[in-house]
Amino acid sequence: MIMADIDFKTFEQKAGVTFDDPSLLKQAFTHRSYINENKASKLAHNERLEFLGDAVLELVVTDFLFVRYPDKPEGELTTYRSALVNAVTLSEVASNLDMNDYLLLSRGESKDVGRARQFILANTIEAVIGAIYLDKGYDEAEDFINRHILRFADKMIARGNLVDAKSAFQEKAQQHEGITPSYKLIRDSGPDHDKSFTVGVYIGKEKVGEGEGKSKQEAEQNAAQRAIEAKGWA
Residue 208 has φ and ψ, to the nearest 5°, of -115, -5
Q: Over the Cα atoms of the chain, what is R_g?
A: 19
Active-site option among 50, 126, 135, 142: 126
So where are the chain's domains? 3-162, 166-231
Q: List the chain pLDDT tens, one digit each, 234 residues.
A: 444 467 899 999 999 999 999 999 999 999 988 888 887 778 899 999 999 999 999 999 999 999 999 998 887 888 888 888 988 889 989 999 999 999 998 877 776 666 678 889 999 999 999 999 999 999 999 999 999 999 888 887 777 656 678 888 988 898 899 999 999 999 999 887 678 899 999 999 999 999 998 788 888 988 998 999 999 987
CATH code at 3-162: 1.10.1520.10
Active-site option among 37, 47, 54, 212: 54
pTM, full prediction:
0.71
- In the chain the beta strands, taken as DSSP E runs, fall at 182-189, 196-203, 206-213
Question: Using CA of residue 122, residue 123, residue 125, residue 130, what is the dihedral sign?
Answer: positive
Query: Distance between terminal CA atoms of the chain?
Result: 42
Answer yes or no: 54 catalytic. yes
Answer yes or no: 126 catalytic. yes
Tell me, yes or no, if the two domains 3-162 and 166-231 fold the same way.
no
Q: What is the DSSP annotation of 201-220?
A: EEETTEEEEEEEESSHHHHH
Given a contact cutoff of 8 angstroms between Cβ atoms, the answer to whether 134 and 52 are in contact is yes
CATH code at 166-231: 3.30.160.20
* Maximum Cα interatomic distance, the chain, rounded to a whole number of Å: 55
